[in-house]
């Protein structure tokens, strides 16, 4: 020791725990003669208590008392605790680790975590130097409970946030799935609606859908074309805005699901087949679907076919009768001519010759009629060739120019184009000569005849032949094409029958156009060309 070597006269040994007794002792040594030393040892209990109550001990107690998170603060040297405050029991239960020893030697900060059954303490240590001498080092223990509480709160919040995020993610996933499904359903619905709308719009039959109040809900393009109505303006109106009262009652009140009616559209008579069905919408309301097919043309074809069969039968009958009549007529005509030439009565010779001429002329007229019957019964085959309709009607107009001018009748030929057709020109001229002759005779004086030519779908030509004469009695509309039917005093009744037969031979149709307000009008539809 320095005291024995003469380097120092006093040595402070410091506080030591008593070996034989309890408590602490404070020791210091004084040098004596002959390199000896006097060691003074006193009880240090009161000194330690006093030291703890004042100065540094009081300071650290104030710090620990005001901060519950500080578990303890201590000043400690390598042998013992110099000053401490707080739960010093943790200091007694802990030993200095190598880290703290290194801190003591290196004068740096060090830390460690002390765990007990009830508490976790985070301890920091730093060397304490006074007057360039290392006295010891500070040890401060901080409770980890606030950090643990914060961590718990963070964990709880993370759990809640995670749960909320899971819910949001689930809701978002459900929304996206529902949205995607809705988009798919919307596309499918749009496709079905478009498909259904296209079917309804482009179907050839007229379709009318009535709602629960029997107002028009759907009016397709075919219905617009058939009834000549504006599809947007007709919606919401009742069905009696289209059909007459009788037809409306028939369609609405009759239990039958299939009705055949006759209706007037812009003065034109239509034969309609109406199919009626019912369906319930999503709200349980009963709706009515009317599918309407125009049978007018079909009925006309059926009527013309029936007339054709009737004309054929009557023609065959006329042919057989004509053969039986012609020979006797020729004999009678020859005898009458011979008697008129060779025989001269004594009384009233002039009257005799007059009667003979009359008999001969009547026989000739009968023979001409029979000849017409034979021509009707045995028509010549048609010989088709291409020709211009414009040139055809111009020639016809020139042919009748003098007659029309004398009767002060105008002939107007209106064509939407210069159409080239493949018909039997000679027979078609016979058709229009017959129609022209009838119109001139019907008008008499001061009138007009109009021929309107246009092309219609399916590569067909439509010719409307009309005049402003007195017209035809509605009672005879169905008879005018019958063989032998005539309203003329000297008519044979085969003119229009021949006209109809020629039109039939060209695969066409001819009908009386009853929509004409004044005079008579015929509507002829023919294919552009036939073989």
Q: Which domain holds residue 32?
A: 1-53
* Same-domain pairing of 409 and 346: no
Read off the CATH number of the domain in which 221 is found: 3.30.450.20
- The verdict on residue 122 lying in a domain is no
pLDDT (tens digit per residue) in 351-390: 888 888 888 888 887 887 777 767 666 667 888 999 999 9
In whole angstroms, give the CA distance from residue 498 to residue 379.
9
Contact status, residue 144 vs residue 122, Cβ threshold 8 Å: yes
DSSP 262-316: EEEETTEEEEEEEEEEEEE-TTS-EEEEEEEEE-HHHHHHHHHHHHHHHHHHHHH
- The verdict on residue 141 lying in a domain is no
Read off the CATH number of the domain in which 365 is found: 1.10.287
- The verdict on residue 290 lying in a domain is yes
* Same-domain pairing of 341 and 426: no
- The verdict on residue 421 lying in a domain is yes
* Same-domain pairing of 521 and 389: yes
* Same-domain pairing of 392 and 471: yes
* Same-domain pairing of 348 and 459: no
Burial class (CB in 10 A: 0-12, 13-18, 19+), 478: exposed
Read off the CATH number of the domain in which 451 is found: 3.30.565.10
* Same-domain pairing of 409 and 490: yes
Pairing of strands 447-456, 509-512: unpaired
Residue 395 confidence (pLDDT): 92
Q: What share of the chain is helix, strand, coil (3-state, %, to 5)?
A: 45, 30, 25
* Same-domain pairing of 407 and 347: no
Contact status, residue 476 vs residue 280, Cβ threshold 8 Å: no
Residue at which a domain ends, from 260, 294, 328:
294
Residue at which a domain ends, from 241, 266, 294:
294
Contact status, residue 464 vs residue 449, Cβ threshold 8 Å: no
Residue at which a domain ends, from 294, 328, 346:
294
- The verdict on residue 106 lying in a domain is no
- The verdict on residue 240 lying in a domain is yes
Residue 133 confidence (pLDDT): 67
Residue 454 confidence (pLDDT): 92
CA angle 464/466/471 to nearest 5° reads 135
Residue 414 confidence (pLDDT): 92
* Same-domain pairing of 470 and 410: yes
* Same-domain pairing of 424 and 516: yes
* Same-domain pairing of 286 and 397: no
Number of domains the chain is built from: 4
* Same-domain pairing of 262 and 218: yes
Residue 93 confidence (pLDDT): 52
Cβ neighbours of residue 450 closer than 8 Å, sequence gap 6 or more: 412, 414, 464, 465, 466, 467
Angle between helices 296-342 and 495-505 (to 10 degrees): 130
- The verdict on residue 175 lying in a domain is no
Q: Which residues of the chain have pLDDT under 70?
A: 1-8, 12, 14-15, 46-58, 77-80, 90-108, 130-131, 133-135, 311, 314-315, 318, 373, 375-379, 483-493, 515-517, 531
Residue 94 confidence (pLDDT): 54
- The verdict on residue 261 lying in a domain is yes
Contact status, residue 387 vs residue 420, Cβ threshold 8 Å: yes
* Same-domain pairing of 411 and 513: yes
DSSP 342-354: H---SS-HHHHHH
In whole angstroms, give the CA distance from residue 505 to residue 521.
21
Whether the pTM exceeds 0.85: the reply is no
In whole angstroms, give the CA distance from residue 21 to residue 118.
33
Exposure on the CB side of residue 344, measured as CA atoms within 13 A: 0
Pairing of strands 70-76, 133-143: antiparallel
Residue 26 confidence (pLDDT): 74
């Amino acid at each position: 020791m320095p005291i024995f070597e003469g380097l120092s006269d006093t040595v402070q040994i410091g506080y030591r725990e008593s070996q034989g007794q309890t408590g602490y002792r404070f020791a210091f040594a004084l040098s004596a003669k002959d390199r000896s030393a006097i060691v003074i040892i006193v009880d240090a209990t009161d000194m330690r208590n006093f030291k703890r109550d004042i100065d540094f001990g009081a300071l650290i107690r104030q710090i620990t008392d005001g901060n519950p998170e500080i578990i303890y603060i201590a000043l400690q040297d390598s042998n013992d605790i110099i000053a401490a405050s707080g739960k010093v029991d943790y200091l007694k239960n802990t030993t200095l680790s190598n880290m703290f020893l290194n801190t003591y030697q290196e004068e740096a900060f060090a830390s460690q975590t002390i765990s007990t059954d009830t508490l976790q303490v985070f301890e920091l240590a730093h060397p304490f130097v006074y007057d360039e001498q290392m006295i010891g080092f500070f040890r401060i223990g901080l409770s980890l409970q606030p950090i643990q509480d914060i961590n718990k709160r963070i964990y709880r919040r993370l759990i809640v946030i995670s749960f909320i995020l899971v819910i949001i993610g689930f809701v978002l996933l459900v929304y996206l799935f529902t949205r995607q499904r809705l988009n798919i359903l919307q596309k499918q619905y749009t496709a079905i609606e478009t498909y259904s709308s296209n079917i309804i719009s482009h179907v050839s039959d007229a379709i009318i859908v009535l709602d629960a109040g029997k107002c028009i809900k759907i009016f397709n393009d075919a219905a617009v074309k058939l009834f000549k109505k504006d599809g947007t303006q007709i919606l919401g109106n009742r069905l009696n805005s289209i059909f007459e009262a009788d037809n409306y009652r028939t369609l609405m009140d009759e239990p039958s699901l299939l009705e055949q009616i006759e209706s007037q559209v812009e003065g034109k008579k239509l034969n309609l087949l109406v199919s009626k069905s019912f369906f319930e919408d999503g709200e349980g309301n009963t709706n009515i679907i009317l599918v309407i097919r125009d049978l007018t043309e079909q009925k006309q074809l059926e009527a013309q076919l029936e007339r054709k069969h009737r004309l054929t039968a009557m023609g065959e009958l006329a042919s057989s009768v004509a053969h039986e009549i012609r020979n006797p007529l020729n004999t009678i005509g020859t005898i009458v001519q011979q008697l008129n030439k060779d025989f001269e009565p004594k009384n009233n010779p002039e009257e005799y010759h007059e009667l003979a001429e009359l008999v001969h002329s009547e026989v000739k007229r009968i023979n001409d009629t029979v000849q017409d019957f034979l021509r009707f019964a045995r028509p010549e085959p048609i010989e088709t060739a291409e020709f211009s309709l414009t040139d055809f009607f111009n020639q016809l107009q020139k042919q009748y120019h003098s007659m029309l001018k004398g009767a002060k009748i105008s002939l107007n030929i209106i064509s939407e184009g210069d159409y080239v057709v493949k018909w039997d020109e000679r027979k078609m001229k016979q058709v229009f000569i017959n129609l022209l002759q009838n119109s001139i005779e019907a008008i008499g004086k001061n009138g007009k005849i109009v021929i309107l030519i246009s092309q219609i779908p399916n590569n067909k030509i439509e010719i409307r032949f009309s005049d402003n004469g007195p017209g035809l009695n509605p009672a005879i509309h169905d008879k005018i094409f019958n063989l032998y039917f005539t309203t003329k005093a000297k008519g044979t009744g085969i003119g229009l029958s021949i006209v109809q037969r020629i039109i039939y031979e060209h695969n066409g149709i001819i009908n009386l156009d009853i929509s004409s307000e004044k005079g008579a009008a015929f509507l002829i539809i023919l294919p552009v060309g036939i073989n």
